[in-house]
Chains A and B, each alone.
Chain A
Amino acid sequence: MIPTSIFPKIPIGDSVEGLVDWTDDFFGWLLDAISTLLDFLVSGFQDILLAIPPLLLIIALSAIVWLVTKRDWKIAVLTGLGLLLVWNMRLWPAAMETLALVISSAIVTLIVAIPVGILAARHDLIDTLIRPVLDFMQTMPSFVYLIPAVIFFGLGNVPGMIATVIFAMPPAIRLTNLGIRHIPKELIEVSDAFGATTNQKLFKVQLPVALPTIMAGVNQCIMLALSMTVIASMIGAGGLGLNVLKGIQRVDIGGGFEAGLAIVIVAIVLDRITQNLVKSGP
């Protein structure tokens, strides 16, 4: 046993609490603004998705899958059948809420992650600095993000999104960075030799050539966002995750399984779309 009188416990927990209180006092207005914005985003998407008749949306999503997979009708039909099943299980509104959460979280994540990734690719110093931060973010158990999210933003969809954004960000940053850094040296030489400015080089050469890798990051980001929105139901985020949580709390095996199945279907649809987006691109 450690003699507490000689080695007093370092007050990590207390300090974090103090920091949280302080932030809440001084940046409350900022937190409120973020909260309002995110809430607007997610409920906006949710309203749009629910306003469209389910059948129409199912057809539209199947058509998108068909288009991005270079007219692979098998995947398109399976997508349609899967989504019909979700509808049939009476889980459509929950699925749309999950989808809205995933889409808005992914948008926020990418708005931050892609520029950070570009900066990291351009400056070795930034790369060195953010690397341990990203490692930290990825190895920290995802549940831990729920705590500060709840403290700062209360319960509901918004803290769920915050936790999701933090959780889904690292791969998007890493893959953007990697994609740009791995562009063949000659292509960089071409842009320099023809007199491109730094921005021209970025937008005409680096980003387009790195696009497949960046899209792999986008795909990762969306899949992680989906998995996190489910976990975020623990702090009041809605959607399919909430149904799973209810299933656990009430030991409702059937309900939990149905919600789980719906999550898998949504995941497959999202994955097929984002994976094929670049390959079928212009």
Chain B
Amino acid sequence: MENPEVVEKTVKVRMENLVKVFGQKPQKALELLDKGLKKQEIFEKTGQNVALNNVSFEVYEGEIFVLMGLSGCGKSTLLRCINRLIEPTRGKISIDGEDILKMDQEQLRELRRKKLGMIFQSFALLPHRSILDNVAFGLEIQGMPVEERHEKAREAIKLVGLEGYEESKPPQLSGGMQQRVGLARALASDADILLMDEAFSALDPLIRRDMQDELLDLQERVSKTIIFVSHDLDEALKLGDRIALMKDGEIVQVGTAEEILTKPSTSYVEKFVEDVDMAKVLTARDVMKRPEPLLSLDSGPTNALRLMKEYGISSVFVVAKHRQFRGLVTVDDAIEAKSENKPLQDILITGVTTIPPDTPISEIIPMMAEAKYPVAVVDDTGKMKGIIVRGSVLAALARMEVDAL
């Protein structure tokens, strides 16, 4: 999340002019579509349902890409085209540069086993299997021996915080826990791409928010490419590095949360986001993340690099005893310091912006737009209370809007 411009963007999934027509005579619908007719007109004339209409977009490696729209807009269909649970009628989909629509059954199976994990709204756990065997399902399908797949499944279960439930059966678990199992199942097979279909929509709002936070935490550790389908703007703004807003099988706008909020491309988008204006009532305290990770002042550049690597970030805050705020170290400086054997003090950037916890969010937003680094929240005793990144501001804004739509 920090310094996105440092990371080079690799295209992971690319869709080009994807069309999906449901019905017996898709060719007829395609002809009319090429003549420029709309979904509704084509349905009236031919009875064919155009679910996706020339959809094109790219998903970059390591980002959370949210497909967002109201029910029936084609977002779930689009998601299922990526692993060909639904065969597109026309167009091109490539994953890591490979055209997946040209793959035969065998290649497709291999792709699904190795690269794609899927998480479902209804959890879709196998009721007769233990949690451990549910998580190991994908590996079992790949033919991995029992010992090995159980070990991997245990790791995945640990990753989602469900240790101790390995032998339980799915119906014994709460909804939130069941979805963690779904997540662990997708993570266990080391897929690079996670397809999440309304993954948290069946959970009650409090649990849903927790799961969103956890997904973000998890993503910092595992850095998957996640394509997340949601009908909930709150969720989309919170999770999405980029968001594609869909309507009637077409993509209306693709952009970051900020772009969608501040520069809605059509009146449809504008209508979607017009209620989000809670900037005045929120303060820094409401939007900050836990102050983690923090680097001790006594530590060295090697440790700084290790921390940044572990959390996948490009800068880390430095504190003295009792979390007294001291400054920030960037990854570039730390690499240099390591090779030249300089102490941490020499590369410490002390002039970073800090704000008190009661700063209103309306003041934070312009600050965030200019800040090169995350902003530290420091109270009047100099103690570091939290970190604010761009995403968390938007997430908090959106959180106030749960019931607005």
Contacts and interface: CB of A to CB of B under 8 A. Distances in A.
A187 B126 contact: yes
B58 interface: no
23 contacts: A186-B122, A186-B124, A187-B126, A190-B120, A191-B141, A192-B85, A193-B83, A193-B195, A194-B112, A194-B113, A194-B137, A194-B138, A194-B185, A194-B189, A195-B108, A195-B111, A195-B113, A197-B141, A204-B126, A204-B141, A208-B128, A208-B129, A209-B128
Contacts of A195: 108-113, 138, 141-142
Interface string A183-201: 0101101111111110010
A7 B122 CA distance: 64
Nearest to B138: A194
A107 interface: no
A186 B128 CA distance: 15
Interface string B92-129: 00000000000000001111110011101110101111
A184 B121 CA distance: 13
A196 B141 contact: yes
Given A193-B117, A204-B126, 15 more contacts: A184-B122, A184-B124, A187-B124, A189-B80, A189-B124, A190-B126, A191-B141, A192-B83, A194-B113, A194-B117, A194-B141, A197-B109, A204-B141, A208-B128, A209-B127
B47 to A, nearest CB: 21
A205 interface: yes
A193 B112 contact: yes
Nearest to A281: B128
Contacts of B127: 209
A194 to B, nearest CB: 4
Return the 10 tightest CB-CB contacts between A and B, nearest first: A195-B113, A195-B112, A186-B124, A193-B118, A194-B138, A195-B109, A190-B124, A208-B128, A196-B141, A186-B120
Interface of B: 80, 83, 85, 108-113, 116-118, 120-122, 124, 126-129, 137-138, 140-142, 185, 189, 195
A178 interface: no
Nearest to B137: A194
A166 interface: no
A209 B185 CA distance: 18
B215 to A, nearest CB: 19
B280 to A, nearest CB: 43
Interface residues of A, number: 18
A205 B126 contact: yes
Nearest to A282: B128
Nearest to B143: A200
B85 A189 contact: yes
A198 to B, nearest CB: 10
Contacts of A187: 124, 126
A211 interface: yes
A208 B126 contact: yes
Given A184-B124, A186-B124, A209-B128, A192 B140 contact: no
Q: Which of B111, B140, B195 has the most CB of A within 10 A?
A: B140
Nearest to A205: B126
B116 A193 contact: yes
A204 B109 contact: no
B88 to A, nearest CB: 16
A184 B118 CA distance: 16
Nearest to B134: A190
Contacts of B195: 193
A210 to B, nearest CB: 10
Contacts of A211: 128
A188 to B, nearest CB: 9
